[in-house]
Structure 1
Amino acid sequence: MKPIITRFAPSPTGYLHVGGARTALYNWLYARHNNGKFILRIEDTDTQRSTTESSDAIFKALSWLGIDYDDGPYYQSDRLPLYQEKINQLYEAGKIYPAFDTPEELEIIRQLAMQEKRNPIYDRSALRMSADEVSARMESGSAFVWRFKVPDEGITEVPDLLAGKSLTTSFANSSIGDFIITRPGTKNNPGMPLYNFVCAVDDAAMNISHVIRGNEHLTNAGRQVLLYEAMGLQIPQYVHLPIIMKNGKKMSKRDVDVDGQAPVSVLERAALGYLPEATLNHLVLLGWSHPDGKEIMDVEEMISKFDLDRLSKSNANFDEKKYLFFNNHYIKEKSDEELLELAKPYLIQACLDLTHYSDPEMQKMIGLEKKHFRKLGEIPESLKFYFNEPSTYEQKGVEKDFMRQDYNAASILQFAMEAVKSINVFDTAEINRVLAETVEKSEVPYKVFGPIVRLAITGRVSSPPIADVMEILGTARTITRIDRAIDSIGKMVPSMPPLISGGIITNDI
């Protein structure tokens, strides 16, 4: 049996986006599932648009995803002698010919075809030149391209294994036209070979068994099959994946996520705090399904279960909410220690001074909140109240709790502060015990007492259990925050001094 060899062949003209990442993942999974080989090839023959920065970003994105390769990276710009050798062979076999047409001449040919309601394909005017004319033009240094001579009649068939079935797409040769396989060049300075040609040459040279890619390449496949046949090379098995949709249309660079951000590339998703595990889990389901209908799966299970039979012929839907669901799941799966290390760059970027707390204290902060995190980038906002003493208080809390008419919030906080000062062992259990006693003595319902204390300490109406928060803050910070809140309330309602009568905290109204 022929070994399974797949490849991922991006052009380094931009960053790795969702569609490219899915293509890389499917090729990698299929190779790993079959104990085959996965090759990385950089298709950089477009020298004007290809950049080292883009290549590096592709490598970084693949590494972040955990997609490793067995061979490569191969750069097509390093393989020009091989392509020239194949061009010479095709020319000698009469399969290609030089065409000296200028852009202006080609536009005239196109306009004439449109007027005559013909398919605007090349009219083969270059073939009407004599051998002597061609030789003279070449020797004079005239620029030309190489065109592939498509058979006049018949059809070209592209077999496809999408969904494990042998599908066939047929192209009438008369509709294809003699396509260009190089950019303009001269005899002494050959033009750079183009995508369809180098793709066919390299896939054959690398013994690629399966080409798994987006169906936008289906029309390219017809031209590549013609090139394979002309060069006497074995045609790989093609799998052309349906497109990825979002909000009912093809996914584009202008799409935004549920938070109004527009992350286009994999690395932008990583920067926002998506995890690679969640990204892989989401990507694998964009056109493939687990045989047992499972949605949550790790990489090992993906490799174990991935095959072509489970690929869908329908367009995939990129669901941002599902992506966040996966991300939240894998965040919750992390230990507090792991999650803190992942969160530290975001905490530092948010200018939070990590020297205020020990790692165990910050791990506890993380553990109390992690079930709510959708992305790592959200962690600083959730934790910043530990690092920054509240300078303002959430308005709805001020109105509902600090400004209550039935109980005096400042007096309640004074009572709470005295209780805090009395605690000898400042841990969650002891804090809970003392607060419960304080509530009982004050005869203030906890549903009144608790929110006032929470708002004073955190500045928020919701937080993790307040005793846990207080333990992390420690005695001094807790007292300072309560004292500051009392002062703030006094400035809000100076005409209402706190009264404590018989343990019951009331407003004098």
Structure 2
Amino acid sequence: MVDVRVRFPPSPTGYLHIGGARTALVNWLFAKKHNGKLILRIEDTDTERSTQESIAGIIDGLKWLDLDWDEGPYFQTEFEEDHVKAAQQLLTEGHAYKCFCTKEELDQKREHAMANKLQVGYDGTCRHLSPEEVATKEAQGLPYVIRFKVPERTGTLFYDDEVLGRIERKYSEMEDFVIVRSNGKPLYLLCNVVDDIRDRISHVIRGQDHMTNTTRQVLLYEALGSPLPVFAHMPLTLDLQKRKISKRSHGEVVAVQFYEDKGFIPWALCNFLCLLGWNPGTDQEIFSREELIETFTLNRISKVNSVFNFRPGDPKFFTDPKLISINEVYLRTMDIEELAAMVAKRLEAEGLWKEEYFAENKQWFLQTLDMIRERFHTLEDFTTTGRAYFSDEYAVEEKPLKKNILKYPDLVTWMPMLADRLRSLDEFDKETAEAATRSLATELDIKPGILINGMRTVLTGQLAGPSMFDIVETLGKETVVKRMEDISHLYPNN
């Protein structure tokens, strides 16, 4: 194989969304697989919509996903001279021409073609202007665009796609297309090809929505005297209504930043995105970075579109359940110290943790995380569901409150009694705490579960979680006693 050089060329007109992240990931995997290079190129020629905020968001998103690049970021606007030079070369060599047709004239031609059921497209009015006619129009100061001159050939243009196989299009169906605007600014079609030639791109791996551009770009490569890169067009990512995932239509739920904020593990998201439209050939779904690099091949990319199964507005299914399940696996199996660093960062952002606590309480922190992570879905759970382990300010959920507290009004007396028993223990651990709890239940002639479930609600605010007395031992005597010695605030009439 030739030296592999691929690129990720996002347009900085918004945040990095999951479709773009998936394209970046596939290019990154392919480059890593073949010891190649990934070039980051910001295609910022849409100056009206491109923003520095979007550029920063794209770069931050890639860094969060840990998708590093080998060259760049380059900015397309920095190479405008190359684009203009290429356009001039195409004019000089007869592959392009100046078109003076106005927008109004083009609209009329289009309406006429549609009304008469003719092929819609530019009819080549200016294609055969003589040099003298062109000079006269220029002397009159008439604005013009530069159009590429599609060769007058019979048959079809074709290229071989690594995903879709041979792609063909009849020359007769292709119209002369604009490569430079009337303000002298080259268009994406030309800029993209010129940049890929300059950057020696060997493989163009992108979404199928770019296929309409590819046949025209094949003509540009040919006219500029450059060999074609290998093309690979990936299927699109759709929502449940089979609409293309987009920033404009779906909002923040398709932004990479959304998943960072929600507490997803970066590689878990990458793992999921790769499986959208790619089949490893086995039942394996969880891949380390090294495994995915080793396993990934272009020929296992599906030809059909994939579905990102999220339901905006539904708190239970705010994103694809498969993504959540993959994230759970990472959360529960990843190195505990790596997890601790991520959780500590989120706790600190919430004002629940300070960096110096880690050195002072490292072993307790690691053990606590290892205990509570089994039931958590994202890092966000450590500051919500798991908040009681790190702060005395936590919410008591409605369901356990009704089931385990309000149902037993006598707990307002029993819980302080149990707090006194626990306070008096010389050795405080899960065994002694459980024995004291069961002893009090016997004396009160009640089921131990009433006290145990009440303790869980009071101490964590949750209905379920780790073993109750593991929780008691983890929180420690001082915290447990303090939270249990007065629970009157949980009863609305007290």
TM-score (norm 2): 0.88
Q: What residue in structure 2 maps to residue 496 of structure 1? A: none
Q: CA RMSD in A?
A: 2.8
Q: 1:422 to 1:103 in 2, by over 3 A?
A: same
Report 1:233-312 matches (<5 A). Answer: 233-253=226-246, 262-312=252-302
Rounded to whole Å, the distance in 2 between the matches of 1:145 and 1:389 is 68
Q: What residue in structure 1 maps to residue 329 of structure 2? A: 329
Q: What residue in structure 2 maps to residue 497 of structure 1? A: none
Larger deviation, residues 226-235 vs 334-343 = 334-343
Identity level (%): 34
Rounded to whole Å, the distance in 2 between the matches of 1:229 and 1:43 is 23
Matched, 1:158 2:156: no
Report 1:279-428 matches (<5 A). Answer: 279-319=269-309, 320-352=320-352, 358-386=361-389, 389=392, 394-404=397-407, 408-428=410-430
Q: 1:351 to 1:267 in 2, by over 3 A?
A: same
Q: Is the 8 A contact 2:37 2:70 kept in 1?
A: yes
Matching residue's letter, 1:462:
A
Rounded to whole Å, the distance in 1 between the matches of 2:450 and 2:366 is 30
Matched, 1:99 2:89: no
Rounded to whole Å, the distance in 2 between the matches of 1:392 and 1:201 is 58
Q: Is the 8 A contact 1:410 1:490 kept in 2?
A: no
Rounded to whole Å, the distance in 2 between the matches of 1:452 and 1:400 is 9
1:465: how far off?
Answer: 2.8
Q: 1:106 to 1:307 in 2, by over 3 A?
A: same
Q: What residue in structure 1 maps to residue 62 of structure 2? A: 62
1:302: how far off?
Answer: 1.0
SS at match of 1:109: helix
SS at match of 1:98: strand
SS at match of 1:153: coil
Rounded to whole Å, the distance in 2 between the matches of 1:392 and 1:237 is 56
SS at match of 1:420: helix
Matched, 1:196 2:199: no
Per-residue CA distance 1:388-431 (angstroms, 9 max, x = gap) = 547985444454444557x9434432431221121123333432
Q: 1:384 to 1:106 in 2, by over 3 A?
A: same
Larger deviation, residues 414-423 vs 247-256 = 247-256
Q: 1:263 to 1:359 in 2, by over 3 A?
A: farther
Q: What residue in structure 2 maps to residue 465 of structure 1? A: 467
Rounded to whole Å, the distance in 2 between the matches of 1:53 and 1:490 is 49
SS at match of 1:15: coil
Q: 1:423 to 1:291 in 2, by over 3 A?
A: same
Q: What residue in structure 2 maps to residue 178 of structure 1? A: 176
Q: What residue in structure 1 maps to residue 137 of structure 2? A: 137
Matching residue's letter, 1:301:
E
1:268: how far off?
Answer: 1.9
Rounded to whole Å, the distance in 2 between the matches of 1:385 and 1:356 is 20
Q: 1:420 to 1:328 in 2, by over 3 A?
A: same
Q: What residue in structure 1 maps to residue 82 of structure 2? A: 82
Residue number among 207, 224, 234 corresponding to 1:231 in the alignment: 224
Rounded to whole Å, the distance in 2 between the matches of 1:46 and 1:392 is 48
Rounded to whole Å, the distance in 1 between the matches of 2:131 and 2:406 is 97
Q: Is the 8 A contact 2:344 2:353 kept in 1?
A: no
Report 1:103-142 matches (<5 A). Answer: 103-139=103-139, 141-142=141-142
Name stretches of at least 5 consecutive residues in structure 1 with no aligned partner: 186-190, 493-509
SS at match of 1:59: helix
Per-residue CA distance 1:322-341 (angstroms, 9 max, x = gap) = 10011111111234443233
Residue number among 464, 480, 483 corresponding to 1:481 in the alignment: 483
Q: Is the 8 A contact 2:388 2:394 kept in 1?
A: no
* Number of residue pairs the alignment of both structures matches: 480
Q: Is the 8 A contact 2:268 2:330 kept in 1?
A: yes
Larger deviation, residues 422-431 vs 64-73 = 422-431
Rounded to whole Å, the distance in 1 between the matches of 2:36 and 2:403 is 64
SS at match of 1:484: coil
SS at match of 2:126: helix
Larger deviation, residues 354-363 vs 117-126 = 354-363
Q: Is the 8 A contact 1:256 1:263 kept in 2?
A: no
Per-residue CA distance 1:315-361 (angstroms, 9 max, x = gap) = 22224011001111111123444323312343344454659974544
Q: What residue in structure 2 maps to residue 501 of structure 1? A: none
Name stretches of at least 5 consecutive residues in structure 2 with no aligned partner: 310-319
Rounded to whole Å, the distance in 2 between the matches of 1:104 and 1:56 is 40
